Amino acid sequence: MDILQFFVERHDEILRKTWEHLQLVGMSMGIAIVIGVPLGLLLTRKPKLASPVLGLANVIQTVPSLALFGFLIPIPLIGGIGMRSATIALVLYALLPILRNTYIGIQSVDAAVVEAGKGMGMTELQRLRLIEVPLALPTVLAGIRIATVLTVGLATIASAIGAGGLGDFIFRGVTMVDSRLIFAGALPAAMLAIGLDALLGRAEKMLVAA
């Protein structure tokens, strides 16, 4: 029960760190979506680019996260200590699921439906807007959901390069061998992941039904 007591005593700090964490995730996801979705669309139009770009995103995904955060520290302008370089790393990780699902979502739209649109006199842009994007939407949104849950977890490690967030508790807890501190970071992070996943799931249902 002292974990509960710990949560009650430190609720200010826990809430503040959770909010920091949410900001880090929100910012990274926002940027990743703004880059990933249009880039995914572009890849369906430029098939030659698709495999190198998706391959690169795959490679980034395989770099251990702690190492990637470390690599960013000495890089001028975009690197260094703090929230900015953490955001960049998180964007790089979130990019693959978004990029890949956008690409696959558009690719798997029935070619006959697209041709029917063409036969009705739709321009390429109209086909994209009225047929391909709406039909690919569930897959694209699934990619965003996966990326969000992934980012909530990864963002705890960003604390290692001074980005703040719930990872601060976890790293402190590990150093001090205090499981209460680890819990104070891990539990809100898990709840955040579950909560965001549920929220996006609901958004998905609403958008797809509309």
Partner 1 sequence: MAGPAVELKDVSKSFDGERPALSGISLVVETGETVVLLGSSGSGKTTTLKMINRLVTPDEGEVFVRGKEVRAWDPIELRRQTGYVIQEVGLLPHLSVEDNIGLVPRLSGWSEDRRRERTLELLELVSLPPDAFAHKRPSELSGGQRQRVGVARALAADPPLLLMDEPFGALDPINRRRLQSEFSALRDRLGKTIVFVTHDVPEALRLAHRIGVMHDGKLLQLAAPETILNEPADELVRELVRLDTKEAILGSRS
Query: Nearer to partner 1 by C-beta: 123 or 179?
Result: 123
Yes or no: say if 134 and 141 are a contact pair by the CB < 8 Å rule: no
Query: Nearer to partner 1 by C-beta: 131 or 189?
Result: 131
Q: How far is the CB of 148 from partner 1 (least distance, A)?
A: 24
Q: How far is the CB of 1 from partner 1 (least distance, A)?
A: 52
Query: Nearer to partner 1 by C-beta: 117 or 165?
Result: 117
Query: Nearer to partner 1 by C-beta: 23 or 107?
Result: 107
Nearest to 141 by CA among 37, 16, 23, 46: 37
Tokens of 156: 């705890």
Nearest to 99 by CA among 155, 55, 134, 165: 55
Alpha carbon of residue 134 to chain centroid: 21
Query: Nearer to partner 1 by C-beta: 17 or 127?
Result: 127
Q: How far is the CB of 114 from partner 1 (least distance, A)?
A: 10
Q: How far is the CB of 132 from partner 1 (least distance, A)?
A: 11
Q: How far is the CB of 134 from partner 1 (least distance, A)?
A: 5
Q: How far is the CB of 14 from partner 1 (least distance, A)?
A: 43
Query: Nearer to partner 1 by C-beta: 131 or 166?
Result: 131
Residue numbers at the binding site for partner 1 (CB under 8 A): 110, 112-113, 115-123, 126, 130-131, 134-135
